[in-house]
Structure 1
Amino acid sequence: AAHPDLSIEAAAKLELPHVRGAFSLVFMDDDALYGARDPQGIRPLVLGRLEAGWVLASETAALDIVGASFVREVEPGELITIDEQGLRSQRFADADPKGCLFEYVYLARPDTTIAGRGVQASRVEIGRRLAIEHPVEADLVIPVPESGRYGAIGYAQESGIPFAEGLVKNAYVGRTFIQPSQTIRQLGIRLKLNPLRDVIAGKKLVVVDDSIVRGNTQRALVRMLREAGALEVHVRISSPPVQWPCFYGIDFATRAELIANGLTIDEIRTSIGADSLGYVSLEELIEATTIPAEKLCRACFDGIYPVPIPDPQVVSTQVMEGIERRVNATSNADGHSLVKNEDGRS
């Protein structure tokens, strides 16, 4: 509407450089299909080929479902036009890749490929590294289905502890951490998962989950497993503590709602009622993806946002909320501020 004299393609190329944030866009008119990805490539977008056409999708798994072959990822800062003349690629901004690290942890389907490697393989590797960082004596390793499954497989392979399915998932209940209210989330957890008593009764369990956001799922799970007869419940998480909200399309709500904001790991363990709690380190998580750290968005783990958050009010109320409780600021010999993590590292 702002450029009535221009084609959709020309107008998109003119306006896309001014769009800020994370976006993977697919749009069309009577003559063409268009796809565009933000210069950081925070969210995935892939190109596929059918016998008589093209496909744009958010994951390679979607291409498999419709019978399309994977061609390539849409590049960060790229605009693709597909019409009767074929496919055209144009650059509307320089690429500065910062793909979302949480895709590997939770968001992407395990049968999806990112940057040439299957997400499933990355998650198994994360589980192996988690077992090395946080070993424990136990009888069984069980996953929190579905996203904890491959991390649990990796943990079991590395630790030598048998893998077992100890929780049954109701396939008709959606993702609990993105439900709009606390009451609905808590009800969703009970509806979503049920323990297999014959498997877990009298056992010391390692329970592997992908992440802890608010702590609702893990708290309810630990309680259910103990009620079902588990002797010990050791929770292992295949991501670092989620301490910062996502402003790039994922509902992590406010920082005050994140359980890792303001609590130590042992305090989180106490809150969820586990016998022990271990998170994979950020360094090991990144290594497991095989993607260089500088090409990943890690903002929900380290608070470094690759695309500036434009509204100062949003920053003050969401990002900085409770920061005094989370870090200790000291001064070095030169008078500069040092921010230390809980383990004392700067």
Structure 2
Amino acid sequence: MNFTNPFCDLDGDKLREECGIFGVIGAEHAVAVTALGLHALQHRGQEACGIVTYDGKEFYAQRGIGHVASVFEGGDLHHVQPGSMASGHVRYSTTGGAGLRNVQPLFADLASGGFSIAHNGNISNAASLKRELVQRGAIFQSTSDTEVIIHLVATSRYPTLLDRFVDALRMVEGAYSLICMTPDGIIACRDPLGIRPLVMGRLGDAIVFSSESVAFDVIGAEFIRSIEPGELVQVDQQGTISSHRPFGNPKPRPCIFEHVYFSRPDSVMDGRSVYAVRKQIGVELAKESVVAADAVIPVPDSGMPAAIGYAQQSGIPFELGIIRSHYVGRTFIQPSEGARHADVKRKHNANRAIVEGKRIVLIDDSIVRGTTSKKIVEMMRDAGAAEVHFRVASPPTSNSCFYGVDTPERSKLLAATMDTAAMAEFIKADSLAFVSIDGLYRAVGEQNRNNKSPQFCDACFSGEYPTSLTDLAERERHDLLTLPINKVA
């Protein structure tokens, strides 16, 4: 379900959250609140954004390619009429690829009235469901997996919209946090395992929903609570809040990588400060793999909290040995390896006065393909580092994600093809170590990983996927059937 994304870091060497969602009902300036909330969630999706509003009579939409500040430049919301209810979305393209027709929130006129949907996650049986829907006469306007939910709602035979919505969700598998708008109000929900996050807050008399709590800080809202896994929260136009749990109470499996990288460090995720968790990961990393060195240096900006924790636990001084430029435009297609390398140096530059002659420990959040890590190590060598030891604030990323993260295919993940020693040789580090999966779990407040019943979704590290992967299984069967007969074994 994942497609190559030209908006990713220079060569796809960072995992990217697919999107962020925001919604508000009962606010005097709902569209302005939503635009501000999306700006706080910009890190979750930088390819495109959109807002849909409802003024009590009609739905209005404005969508565009680019950052929130450019799509809604100077408060340009002329296509989105005033109203007290709005929802918005920022995205990267994974399922469905790029293009304006895939920019959310998606909207459709159903028999019951207008229906908009903003989705964070990935429906892992979307292709199978779409094939069945098309055979029954459905006409799709996008290539997004999210549109499948709209068609399932539209074709459900249950009497009320809420029942039709629940009926649709029973047919999908994978990960989803959703904010849906109808003429009657907003429905916000998480999948039964709570893989993707969603929180609820209050802004005066208005109720707000967001992928992360940091958006509430930005708009001045009060955090109320997280939407529980499998919960649907319905807010009508009078502000009445009702909670529904049609999926029972399954054991949650929220994405642990939210704590490692995806969320902003000033967010609170499932009651835990993201910054505090990342700092504690560094502490665990130092306990497990300390090395004699003169300086602990973060790879900006994602390695910063873990590097602070590592330095405090190890007693090795924390230094800014790499300076990041915040004024470099996003990289699209670079014509050559030399150009890509030059782009790394434009974004990151060695602080020679700190690095030269020193034994350094580099701290980063993850290694995906390993190409950027290799260039960073080379940069440190060129700046005169005596030794370069690389420490990673997550276990080896050896498996693809099918739950809403833009992950390279497994064969392109460095940890899927090499052991730690080979990876260290590839990136040219004197040593390489990752935090253990138990160390990661301890950092988020667990004693260890419960191997019989893991507390989080950690499939990118463990390969243990918490849901069925119907589309993947069908593709693998197809690939097997289309192999030459002498290749099947």
**Which residue in the other structure is 2:242 paired with?**
88
How far apart, CA to CA, are the structure 1 residues paired with 2:350 and 2:475?
Answer: 40
Instruction: Give the secondary-structure state (helix, strand or coil) at the position aligned to 1:286.
Output: helix
**1:149-179 Cα shifts (integer Å, max 9, x gaps):** 0110010001000001111223355899xx8
1:305, CA displacement in angstroms?
Answer: 0.1
Greater CA drift, 134-143 or 164-173:
164-173
Letter in 1 for 2:169: L
Change (3 A) 1:227 1:306: same
Change (3 A) 1:314 1:237: farther
Letter in 1 for 2:171: H
**Which residue in the other structure is 1:203 paired with?**
358
1:302 aligns with 2:462: yes
- Report if aligned partners of 1:169, 1:193 keep a CA contact under 8 Å in 2: yes
Letter in 2 for 1:84: Q
**1:283-331 Cα shifts (integer Å, max 9, x gaps):** 111111014642201101110000111131445799xxxxxxxxxxxxx
Structure 1-normalised TM-score?
Answer: 0.85
1:125 aligns with 2:280: yes
Change (3 A) 1:269 1:38: same
**Which residue in the other structure is 2:309 paired with?**
154
How far apart, CA to CA, are the structure 2 residues paired with 1:250 and 1:80?
Answer: 25
- Report if aligned partners of 2:199, 2:226 keep a CA contact under 8 Å in 1: yes
1:234-313 to structure 2, matched below 5 A, reads 234-291=389-446, 293=450, 294-311=454-471, 312-313=473-474
Change (3 A) 1:236 1:40: same
Letter in 1 for 2:314: S
Q: Structure 2 stretches of 5 or more lacking a match?
A: 1-153, 480-489
Letter in 2 for 1:274: A
1:72 to 222, 225, 230: 225
1:185, CA displacement in angstroms?
Answer: 6.9
1:13, CA displacement in angstroms?
Answer: 2.3
Letter in 2 for 1:296: F
Instruction: Give the secondary-structure state (helix, strand or coil) at the position aligned to 2:344.
Output: helix
2:172 to 9, 16, 19: 19
Change (3 A) 1:15 1:49: same
Instruction: Give the secondary-structure state (helix, strand or coil) at the position aligned to 2:415.
Output: coil
Q: CA RMSD in A?
A: 2.4
Change (3 A) 1:305 1:5: closer
How far apart, CA to CA, are the structure 2 residues paired with 1:150 and 1:174?
Answer: 25
1:50 aligns with 2:207: no
1:17, CA displacement in angstroms?
Answer: 1.9
Letter in 1 for 2:209: L
Letter in 2 for 1:51: G
- Report if aligned partners of 2:355, 2:380 keep a CA contact under 8 Å in 1: yes
User: Identity over the aligned pairs, expressed in percent?
Assistant: 44
2:189 to 29, 36, 39: 36
Change (3 A) 1:13 1:170: same
Change (3 A) 1:227 1:286: same
How far apart, CA to CA, are the structure 1 residues paired with 2:227 and 2:427?
Answer: 41
Q: Structure 1 stretches of 5 or more lacking a match?
A: 319-346
- Report if aligned partners of 2:156, 2:168 keep a CA contact under 8 Å in 1: no
- Report if aligned partners of 1:81, 1:87 keep a CA contact under 8 Å in 2: yes
- Report if aligned partners of 2:156, 2:167 keep a CA contact under 8 Å in 1: no
How far apart, CA to CA, are the structure 1 residues paired with 2:232 and 2:258?
Answer: 22
Greater CA drift, 3-12 or 76-85:
3-12
- Report if aligned partners of 1:112, 1:119 keep a CA contact under 8 Å in 2: yes
Structure 2-normalised TM-score?
Answer: 0.61
